[in-house]
Every structure is written in structure tokens, then in C-alpha cells.
């Protein structure tokens, strides 16, 4: 998407590290941004409100990846979606189903809103953590982190 005033884009999980940078860059380029967060009033979102252009062009929307209606509301009228949100649960094996359902819901909401482009992001942690892979191998979508290695070394996120 080329930068243009009044183009509206949605960033799911806007308070996250990667998403916050996306929000910042989009605002700098003149986009109107709708960021989805669990609780728009939470002080952990203050860094977003302080971004240049946020007062004029950033709206934080309460949304849950497993609540299709909340995603439809946030994405309606958008030309693009950056999907960075993912549920974080203590057991990484139990994260898979809500992550897949959440992504499905974002895609359904984007399709219903006739969004032109969806960008789906992930963490390098999803592909990089494998002690058996040569450091010379180019890591791409065919590579996955070794779950047992991540568990043994406690490399997965625990809240």
C-alpha cells in the first residue's frame, strides 16, 4: 500500500513490540491506524498514544482474537490489516488452537470488510530455535523451532 492520507489500516495486537513499531511507521507515513488491544484504557498502551500523529490518527479498539464480531468492528472500513496478535498461554502446545482460530477470525473479518491486503507477522522464535540446524541454513517458512529444545531451555514465553 502506498502512503496516503485517510487510508485506514488495522494492526492487531497493537501494544506488542513488533506491532508498536508498525503503528509508529504507519502513523509517520500518514495512515489512520486502528490498533486492536485487549483493554484500550490499560496504561501499557500509553506508548502508542504518545506516538507522533496518534492523537489525530490512532484509535485503540477493544478486540479479542476469538471474538469474530470484535474483529469485524475493528477491521470494517480498513484497506489493510497487519496481523501481529497471538494469544500467549503458559503451555505452548495449548496456544496453537487459539492462535489458528484467531488468525482465521482475522482473515474472515478482513474478507468481509473487503480488505485489499493482509500482512501476517510472526516472531523469529517460531522458526529460529533449532540446535540441529546448521547456522548457514537460510531460515524460511519451511523451518520451525524445535519445541522440545524450547521447553528444555525455557525459550518460550511464560506469563
pLDDT tens figures, 117-136: 999 987 666 777 788 988 88
Q: How far is CA 148 from the centre of its chain?
A: 25
- What was the pLDDT predicted at 90? 67
Q: Name the strand (E) or helix (H) holding 61.
A: strand 58-62
The rounded distance, in Å, linking the Cα atoms of 35 and 58 is 7
* Segments of the chain with pLDDT less than 50: 1-2, 157-159
Q: Does domain 8-121 have CATH number 3.40.50.720?
A: yes
CB 127 within 8 A of CB 111: no
- Give the residue among 49, 57, 61 at the shortest CA–CA distance from 28: 57
What is this structure's pTM? 0.79
**Domain residue spans of the chain:** 8-121, 124-159
- What was the pLDDT predicted at 157? 47
Amino acid at each position: 500500500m502506498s502512503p496516503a492520507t485517510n487510508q485506514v489500516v488495522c494492526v492487531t495486537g497493537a501494544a506488542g513490540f513488533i506491532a508498536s513499531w508498525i503503528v509508529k511507521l504507519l502513523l509517520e507515513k500518514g495512515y489512520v491506524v486502528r490498533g486492536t488491544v485487549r483493554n484500550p484504557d490499560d496504561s501499557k498502551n500509553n506508548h502508542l498514544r504518545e506516538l507522533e500523529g496518534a492523537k489525530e490518527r490512532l484509535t485503540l479498539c477493544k478486540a479479542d482474537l476469538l471474538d469474530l464480531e470484535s474483529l469485524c468492528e475493528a477491521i470494517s472500513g480498513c484497506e489493510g490489516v497487519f496481523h501481529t496478535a497471538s494469544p500467549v498461554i503458559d503451555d505452548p502446545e495449548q496456544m496453537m488452537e487459539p492462535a489458528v482460530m484467531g488468525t482465521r477470525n482475522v482473515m474472515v473479518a478482513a474478507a468481509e470488510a473487503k480488505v485489499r491486503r493482509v500482512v501476517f507477522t510472526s516472531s523469529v522464535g517460531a522458526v529460529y530455535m533449532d540446535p540441529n540446524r546448521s547456522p548457514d541454513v537460510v531460515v524460511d517458512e519451511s523451518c520451525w523451532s524445535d519445541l522440545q529444545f524450547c521447553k528444555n531451555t525455557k525459550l518460550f514465553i511464560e506469563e
